[in-house]
Amino acid sequence: MAKRKASPEKKTPVKRGRVTEQAAPSTSSDTHQVKAVKRKAQQDGAGTTSAPKKIKLAEPTSEDREQASSSVDTGKDCSQNTKGCTKNGRNKSAGDSKESPKKKKKDKTKNVVQNSAADQQREYQARYVQEHHLGNGGCGAVFAGYRITDHFPVAIKHVPKNRIPIQVTDENGKEVSVEVAILLKLAAEADGSVGTSAPVSLLDWFDFGTELILVQERPVPAVDLFEYIRENGGCLPEGKAKVILKQLVDAAKDLEEKHIFHRDIKSDNILIETGSDVPRVRIIDFGLSCFATEQSQFRFFYGTPIHSPPECYWGKKYRPGPTTVWQMGVVLYEALHVGDFNIMTFIENELKFNEHLSPHCRNFLDACLSDVPEKRPTLGDLQRHPWLR
Domains of the chain, start order: 222-388 (1.10.510.10)
Q: Catalytic positions, please?
A: 264
Q: Could you tell me the pTM of the whole model?
A: 0.74
19 confidence band (pLDDT: 50, 70, 90): very low
Mean pLDDT computed over 157-182: 88
CB within 8 A of 373, min separation 6: which ones?
Answer: 309, 311, 318, 319, 322, 323, 326
Distance separating alpha carbons of residues 29 and 24, to the nearest angstrom? 14
Q: Is the pLDDT of residue 272 over 70?
A: yes
Both ends of the chain: CA-CA distance in Å?
30
- Quote the DSSP letter at residue 42: P
Give the CA distances from residue 192 to residues 81, 195, 212, 345, in Å, rounded to whole numbers and listed in that order.
Answer: 33, 8, 26, 42
| Chain mean pLDDT for the chain | 77
- What pLDDT does 21 receive? 35
Residue 114 is predicted with a pLDDT of: 54
Residue 84: pLDDT above 50? no
Helix (H) or strand (E) holding 260: strand 260-261
Of 326, 352, 349, 347, the closest CA to residue 337 belongs to 352
> Residue 242: what residue type?
K
Identify the top-confidence range among 80-94, 109-123, 262-276: 262-276
Q: Is the pLDDT of residue 263 over 90?
A: yes
**More confident of the two residues 9 and 334:** 334
Q: Which stretch of 96-105, 110-119, 305-314, 324-333 has the lowest confidence by average pLDDT?
A: 96-105
Q: Using omega within 30 degrees of 0 as the cis cutoff, is the peptide bond preceding 13 cis?
A: no
Query: Order of strands, edge to edge, in the sheet holding 211-217?
Result: 128-136, 141-147, 153-160, 211-217, 202-207
In this model, does residue 125 exceed pLDDT 70?
A: yes
User: Strand, helix or coil at 216?
Assistant: strand
Q: CA–CA separation, 91 vs 47, rounded Å? A: 59
- The b/e string for 160-179 (b: 16+ C-beta within 10 A; e otherwise) is ebebbbbbbbeeeeebbbbb
Task: Please classify residue 101 by burial: count the beta carbons closer than 10 Å to its beta carbon, then call 0-12 exposed, 13-18 middle and 19+ buried.
Answer: exposed
Instruction: Report d(CA 297, CA 292) in Å as an integer.
Output: 9
pLDDT-derived band of residue 17, with 50, 70 and 90 as boundaries?
low
Highest-confidence segment of 8-12, 67-71, 371-375:
371-375
